[in-house]
A and B are shown apart, each in its own frame.
Chain A
């Protein structure tokens, strides 16, 4: 991974590892999420992630639906996972 400031290209779910480690005890990049929109299942490491806005936005690489948003504000961290119908945490 590398600093890529200035580019508007997406990264992938590996970039969620650190920010989500502040929320979950389990490594969420290996967790398998199901897209609420298209039902595709994949490890969160493989989703598309945009990190250039005020927070992180993860989208389904298959159907482009928003899966997860994580935004830090002065009030606290907002985590929206309504785009994921379920998540499997592998043993």
Chain B
């Protein structure tokens, strides 16, 4: 199947657990990533860090499923204590994803290049209750500890959902995000994470470039090191809730560093999405 042949066309019925969503808006988040706003009727709301499965069906019946983290804060319809939504025109049935185009990826290239506003797609979710942060205690146990977010590449997507949920909930929990990315042009949510955002007092963002860095970068380009975590993360003594998301190699290196710095294994939650590629 070529990516352009992937279409959801003429389906007679939708399988249990899946529903049809419609693309209502989309924009480029970087030269290689695109944010999709899906309208999912009956969306039950979600906790930041959860994901959805998307399914494409080709005319010959071939299907391909992929998981994508949700980028938006929990929908206002989920809990009355959650404040204004951060996404313009977002409603309780709107779900925002950011898709990084993977060269050769049959699903990501379709979603990033061909999937047009008004097109439909099958969605299952929200799913996953492990890699989540609960800003208010309404969706899960409230944890007042500081939060340490370690992102490799597009692993920043679910972690940004946590920052957005913190903002929407008016939470004062201190956050630190270390965002490892190849080059300045590969950054996602550059403006939102790059300048102090209203409601983001107490969120510190450090970008660690691995290949090429702008002149005002905090350090020379290179992979994340224990020195970076010591300088811009939280000390283990504070018992921060640590969330690590990115390619498998990044996540395993970062988790190993956190353990070596004395963080409790039970305080480190990880989500790997496959290939190396810093």
Is A4 positioned at the interface, with any CB of B under 8 Å from its CB? yes
A86 to chain B, nearest CB (A): 18
Stretch in B78-86, B217-225, B270-278 with 4+ CB within 8 Å of A: B270-278
Number of interface residues of B (CB under 8 A): 41
Per the 8 Å Cβ criterion, residues 157-182 of B in contact with A are: 157-158
Is A27 positioned at the interface, with any CB of B under 8 Å from its CB? yes
Residues A3 and B51 in contact in the complex (CB < 8 Å), given A9-B248, A10-B248:
no
In the complex, are the beta carbons of B274 and A9 less than 8 A apart?
yes
Residues of A within 8 A of B125 (CB): 18
Stretch in B19-27, B87-95, B96-104, B143-151 with 4+ CB within 8 Å of A: B96-104
Is B75 positioned at the interface, with any CB of A under 8 Å from its CB? no
In the complex, are the beta carbons of A11 and B248 less than 8 A apart?
yes
A12 to chain B, nearest CB (A): 5
In the complex, are the beta carbons of A45 and B131 less than 8 A apart?
yes
A15–B66 Cα distance when bound, in Å, is 9
A27–B154 Cα distance when bound, in Å, is 25
Stretch in B105-113, B190-198, B203-211, B227-235 with 4+ CB within 8 Å of A: B105-113
Residues of B within 8 A of A7 (CB): 274-276
A12–B272 Cα distance when bound, in Å, is 6
A17–B17 Cα distance when bound, in Å, is 12
Is B62 positioned at the interface, with any CB of A under 8 Å from its CB? no
Please tell me which one of the listed residues A11, A18, A22 contacts residue B273 in the complex, with CB atoms under 8 A apart.
A11
Residues of A within 8 A of B51 (CB): 1, 14, 17-18
Residues of B within 8 A of A15 (CB): 67
Determine the residue in chain A with the shortest Cβ distance to B18.
A22
In the complex, are the beta carbons of A10 and B108 less than 8 A apart?
no
A10–B270 Cα distance when bound, in Å, is 13
User: Residues of B at under 8 Å CB distance from A?
Assistant: 16-17, 51-53, 65-69, 99-100, 102, 104-108, 111, 124-125, 127-131, 154, 157-158, 247-249, 251, 269-276
29 pairs, A vs B, C-beta closer than 8 Å? A1-B69, A2-B67, A2-B100, A3-B100, A3-B105, A3-B107, A4-B102, A4-B274, A7-B274, A7-B275, A9-B274, A10-B248, A11-B274, A12-B251, A13-B130, A14-B51, A14-B131, A15-B67, A17-B51, A17-B67, A17-B127, A18-B52, A29-B130, A29-B131, A30-B130, A43-B130, A45-B128, A45-B271, A46-B130
